Amino acid sequence: MSIEINLLPWREAHRQRRTRRFYMALVGVVVLALLCALGVSRWYQAGIDAERGRLALIERRMEALEKDIDTVKDYRELRGRMLEQIGLIRELQFSRPQTVRIFDQLVATLVDGVHYDRLVREGDRLELSGLARSNRHVSELLRQLDASPVFGTPALSDVQSDDGDATLKRFNLSVEARAPRRDAEEAP
């Protein structure tokens, strides 16, 4: 007697179980791979977001520094203007008594028989016009102006007889006013 055992259904069932396990393992590996890919992607995205945050912080700080640089430039321009004004004020304070010195010396050098009828000042240059009784008075005035410590060498333009009075001589001359030395002014 021989017993016949049919192993086909058992083999078929075993094959189906192995196939099912294979597909379940495959699905598990795919799911695990997707989860790993998602994790890596999120990790990279977190790194990118952190870098973007750092970049945004750097840009904000750069904007703040640019504003500070503009403020410093404005302060430097303001400082330059203020130094310019301080220099101008010092120059004005230094030259303020110069006009008084000029008029004092004009009076001190004025010769009897001479009077001025026009005085024009352009910077340090003085243009003088006046009347004198004679040419000798004009030459004496020129000597007095030349000897003055306030004036340079005078330059006589012309001497003419006055139209109204033949005894008077009309003269025109120019002279440079010398700037006083600063160290003499600033010494106490």
Would you list the domain boundaries of the chain? Answer: 9-96, 110-186
pLDDT at 184 over 90: no
Q: Which residues pair with residue 174 across a beta bridge?
A: 127, 155
Q: Which of 185, 104, 186 is nearest to 148 (CA)?
A: 104
Q: What is the pLDDT of residues 76-131, one digit of tens each?
A: 999 999 999 999 998 888 777 888 888 888 899 888 989 999 999 888 899 999 99
Q: What angle do CA 78, 81, 87 make, to 5 degrees?
A: 140
Give the sign of the dihedral formed by CA 42, CA 47, CA 48, CA 50.
positive
Average pLDDT over residues 46-75: 96
Amino acid at 85: Q
Strand, helix or coil at 4?
coil
1, two tokens: 């007697």
Pairing assessment for the beta strands 125-132 and 155-161 based on DSSP bridges:
unpaired
The pTM (predicted TM-score) of the whole model is: 0.51
pLDDT tens readout for residues 3-56? 777 667 778 888 999 999 999 999 999 999 999 999 999 999 999 999 999 999
Query: Residue 187: exposed, middle, or buried by beta-carbon count in 10 A (0-12, 13-18, 19+)?
Result: exposed
pLDDT (0 to 100) of residue 181: 62
How high is the pLDDT of residue 28?
A: 96
Pick the CATH number of 110-186 from 1.10.3720.10, 1.20.140.10, 3.30.70.2830, 1.10.645.10: 3.30.70.2830
The predicted-structure confidence for 133-170, as pLDDT tens digits, reads as follows 888 998 999 999 999 988 888 998 888 887 777 778 89
Decide: 85 and 77 in contact? Cβ < 8 Å.
no
- Residue from 176, 181, 180, 182 nearest 124 by CA: 176
Q: In the prediction, which pLDDT does 98 show?
A: 83
